Structure 1
Amino acid sequence: MNNEEGKSLVAAIEDPNTGRPLGDGVRGVVIRDRRAAVDIRLSYPAAGWKDELAGLVSDRLRAGGEVDEVTVDVDWQIPQHAVQGGLDPIEGVRNVIAVASGKGGVGKSTVSANLALALAAEGATVGVLDADIYGPSQPRMLGLEGGPKTTDNRRILPMRAHGLQVMSIGVLVDTDQAMIWRGPMATQALQQMVSETLWEGLDYLVIDLPPGTGDIQLTLAQRIPVAGAVTVTTPQQVAVDDVRRAVAMFNKVKVPVLGVIENMSTHICSNCGHEDPVFGRGGGERIAREAGVPNLGQLPLESEVGRTTDRGTPIVVAEPDHPAAIRFREIARRVAGRLSTQSRESKVRMPKIRITD
């Protein structure tokens, strides 16, 4: 087996996180004296999967009996992906991922917080923008206290929580203050939080959208550069119907829908471990099939997930070895992997020129 044959063999391995072969991600294969060295660069973070990938590559090369030892180097470089409508990327942010749901009560904010933390655990630099102006949840879920600081030129410094950069209307107003705002005021607040926050070197900004397809969602879809969207549903038919509308909205504004996450797919008894589909079966798979998008994964109705977010330390950081935390990591890799297959940003970002005395 020569180098080119080895490279073709490795490049044909199916990547479950992208749904495609490794392809050009295999930068080189060198085979000499029955030893092989493989260099792979992924376009998404994969700290929790790189060892398994290395094992797959090693098994594939040794299967023919011509190679005895295989050394595999896996790293990643996260590119900036194209956005809808030719919008300019946000300063300090490579990619925006919107997390949406057609209705409330499906656990979208919990999924958003844990998804962001899972992406960070996989090796990315991540931020969270809580876009639910009327009912912000992220300050409590991520354990934020106090308010943000500002720079001399009135830029807002994002708050920090568990390694994430975070911004929410909930840290800009009093906790008990009711946001009695009409739509234009709410959408302006969203735009200001996006543009006036000094994000620093984010690979992904996860935006936790309010439920539905109203003013906030349309503002995000039309004015904020979104690389991809994820929809959250439960198995219930009523939730699936609403997700269908959310997917249709993103399709109309040319935002790629990366897939569907089915939350509360089953209830796991904390006493005996029995798993029961209390909300029915197959909702996520059905809407994914109908919409032609991937089913990114299923999450159980797990009491510890709720308790940890209430304490401000979501399960991905509170109990990283918990089965639910591991499942969030798997879903995060699929979200990032699917995004990595989208078109790259081709705009040349011109430097800003400042004239000072």
Structure 2
Amino acid sequence: MPTPAAIQWRDNQLELLDQRLLPTEIHYLRFDSAAAVADAIRDMVVRGAPAIGITAAYGMALAARSVGPLPSVAAWTQALSAARHALANSRPTAVNLFWALTRADQTIEQYGNGGDVAEALLQLAHQLLAEDLAINQRIGDHGAALIAPDSLVYTHCNAGALATGGYGTALGVIRSAHAGGKLRGVIAGETRPWLQGARLTTWELMQDGIDVSLATEGAAGHLMRSLKPSWVIIGADRIAANGDVANKIGSYNLAILARHHGVKFMVAAPISTFDPSLDGDDIPIEQRPGEEITHSRGAQVAPSNCISLNPAFDVTPASLIDAIVTEYGVIHSPSRESVTAHLQTAKE
């Protein structure tokens, strides 16, 4: 059974699979405004960097449809500024969000002087969704080529069909490796506090008939030493100019453990996830509400007034990464120079 689409357009409305309810309930929420879409991104109805970007593009299309015809680029820009601001501030770490909003800006510039901006923005969102699926399949094939037969791999969070336009980045690599008969199994870390690994990754892989075992975060070192996986494979929310990678909190821990145990570390992400404007130390890290770790499904699990630290992401230094895989190929042992060269190749 294929994984249900995370994002779909039906009856002139955006529908998002409410990922907070998975795996026990499949339920779509409908959206007709950019403000509601921004809330959905912030509240984790939809998550994963590529999916957030695509969703933001649909949010801009919804905003344009509510405004009606306007005479100029300036008028459109002003009318959509509040929607754009709300979407841009929904989650700060995923650079795909800002990449998609920039694509929307370019569309407004192209069609704003008398064109049908609302329709153009809707077609852009459709295009980004279709492009992402094709990109993920190419990422999957490039990454799978690095995996030896009879491999066990370890993954973290959910970088699958639910986090993208379909197929997935890290899970795209796993899907392609499975299709090539290379995998003997997958270990999925639970990914606290939202448990994306437990709720989403295991569910996706089980839908595809891929052998997966769920593990607690604290078991990672023991499992690397005892089971000897070949690769840790993760997605990314932002890749810096120097090759550092921001991803779900806990990724950095896994990279350190992997290096100690001789396990290779792979990042799978599209070119749109790269941010050549900054280095890893400058990546903004989203701080989530403390209640996410002081409470579990509404039940208090920590003392009242307990001070909490709840960063949503961490940054893995390029020196701990063996390969970054994009739709254009593989960056081995990433560095500022190899990232720059890869991005230049993508432009040509």
Q: Quick check: TM above 0.5?
A: no
TM-score, structure 1 normalization: 0.31
TM-score, structure 2 normalization: 0.32
**Structure with greater helix percent:** 2
Which structure has more relative contact order (CA 8 Å, sep 6+)? It is 1
